[in-house]
């Protein structure tokens, strides 16, 4: 819950910020403590998709606890004379899982290409086919979303 209700973004702007962000910060609980990492992502309906290697700390953390948070910070503007920063951000709470279905993994990877490399969309099928065996896809089902600005 946001303490300063006057700083809440309306839901439409929070969703827009989530969809348009360049990268997000994924925070998880792991067996050896908290773990967070900046990562590229794409949103499709109420699911956030990420990709990573087929083994590693992210996957172990999600196996340990599927509850995650995901943060995107939009435009920021330092205000040194005011000792503050103007910003927009969105925080998502959700549950993450590894996508096992190969067609859903390919769909997520295609969505990532459309977002980050649209000029290379024609090369995507071959690149995805060549790397699908070494690429995991994580899906985060959005359960709650809150946007904030100053």
Tokens at 97, concatenated: 């899982």
- pLDDT of 94 reads 97
Per-residue pLDDT band for 99 (boundaries 50, 70, 90) equals very high
Q: Is the pTM of this model over 0.85?
A: yes
The pLDDT tens digits for 115-131 are: 999 999 999 999 999 99
Closest C-alpha among 75, 71, 90, 73 to residue 147: 90
Beta strands in the chain (DSSP E): 24-30, 33-39, 42-44, 47-52, 67-79, 84-98, 136-149
Query: For residue 110, what pLDDT band results from cuts at 50, 70 and 90?
Result: very high
Domain region containing 66: 5-149
Question: So what's the pLDDT on residue 141?
Answer: 98
pLDDT (tens digit, 9 = 90+) per residue, 44-81? 999 999 999 999 999 999 999 999 999 999 988 888 99
CATH of the domain at 26: 2.30.110.10
Query: Could you tell me if 139 and 49 are in contact, meaning their C-beta atoms sit under 8 angstroms apart?
Result: yes
Query: What total number of domains does the chain contain?
Result: 1
Helix spans in the chain (H) = 11-20, 57-64, 102-116, 124-131
């Amino acid at each position: 819950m946001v303490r300063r209700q006057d700083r809440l973004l309306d839901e439409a702007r929070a969703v827009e910020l989530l969809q348009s962000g360049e990268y997000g910060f994924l925070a998880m609980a792991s067996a050896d403590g908290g773990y967070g990492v900046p990562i590229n992502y794409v949103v499709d309906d109420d699911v956030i998709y990420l990709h990573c290697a087929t083994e590693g700390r992210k996957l172990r953390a999600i196996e340990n606890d599927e509850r995650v948070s995901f943060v995107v910070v939009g435009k920021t503007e330092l205000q040194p004379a005011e000792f503050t920063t103007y910003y927009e951000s969105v925080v998502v709470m959700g549950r993450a899982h590894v996508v096992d279905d190969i067609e859903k993994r390919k769909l997520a990877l295609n969505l990532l290409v459309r977002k980050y490399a649209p000029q290379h969309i024609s090369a995507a099928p071959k690149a995805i086919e060549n790397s699908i065996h070494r690429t995991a896809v994580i899906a985060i089902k959005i359960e709650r979303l809150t946007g904030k600005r100053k």
